[in-house]
Amino acid sequence: MTNRFRKRSWIQNPAVILLCLLASGNAFPQNNGRTGEVIANYLIQPGDLLEISVWREDYLERDVSVQPDGRVSFPLVGVINAAGSTVEQVQIRVAERLAQFIPDPVVTVSIKEIRGNRIYILGQVQNPGQFIMNPMIDVMQALALAGGTTPFAELNEIKILRRSGNKQTLIEFRYADIARGRNLQQNIILQSGDVIIVP
């Protein structure tokens, strides 16, 4: 086995890479106590399961699933938009609707299950397909979920395709750089709907 082949083999093993980066303290972006902030700012996606309750109103406590059109239905509230909103924003909408029937309603909305926050990994990975983010994940973690790259992958030609409205952006990712602890800023946090392409 040549030195070149050995080097390529360990680069394509996500477990080895993650262990090396963890040892150097540079594996992933540090939370610095911001995990709660990330969850609070999470934008609800179609398919997510929400838990909505109203204080002292037992009959107004239930789980609701965000429909494909991004809306949810709740007693007395009717149908409201949820997708693309934070939990706090949905909580305010529910309270405003309920105020017509209940004085000063105290509403709690929480995310019970993240089901709609999906990314897609295509091409030369061991297990291509769609994966649920829960809720924050970066490129290296996503590739690890897909089982790592195959021996035929072009490691420095990986791309992330991101859609924002009608606009699409192509983001370059050099796997080998990350494996060597270089240019770690390209190991970005993924967004729902991102597509990772490994040629």
Q: What is the pTM of this model?
A: 0.71
**86 pLDDT higher than 80:** yes
Please report, for residues 7, 38, 57, 142, 161, the alpha-carbon distance to residue 42 in angstroms, rounded to integers and kept in the order given: 39, 6, 27, 18, 20
Residue identified by tokens 């002292």 is 56
Bond preceding residue 135 cis, omega within 30 of 0: yes
**89 pLDDT higher than 80:** yes
Rounded average pLDDT over 130-147: 92
| Token pair recorded at residue 23 | 């040892």
Domains of the chain (ranges, CATH numbers): 3-32+117-198 (3.10.560.10), 43-113 (3.30.1950.10)
Q: How far apart are CA 102 and CA 80, in angstroms?
A: 18
pLDDT of 30 = 43
Q: Are 141 and 164 in contact (CB under 8 A)?
A: no
What confidence tier does 6 reach under pLDDT thresholds 50, 70, 90?
Answer: very low
What are the pLDDT digits (tens) for 54-78? Answer: 999 999 999 999 999 999 999 999 9
**139 pLDDT higher than 50:** yes
132: closest CA among 122, 111, 117?
117
Rounded average pLDDT over 184-188: 96
Q: Output the CA torsion sign for 109, 110, 112, 114.
A: positive
pLDDT of 135 = 78
Q: Tell me what percent of the residues of the chain surpass a pLDDT of 70.
A: 80
**2 pLDDT higher than 50:** no
Q: Are 112 and 51 in contact (CB under 8 A)?
A: yes
Whole-number average pLDDT of the chain = 85
Rounded average pLDDT over 15-36: 45
Please report, for residues 48, 78, 91, 102, the alpha-carbon distance to residue 95 in angstroms, rounded to integers and kept in the order given: 20, 12, 6, 9
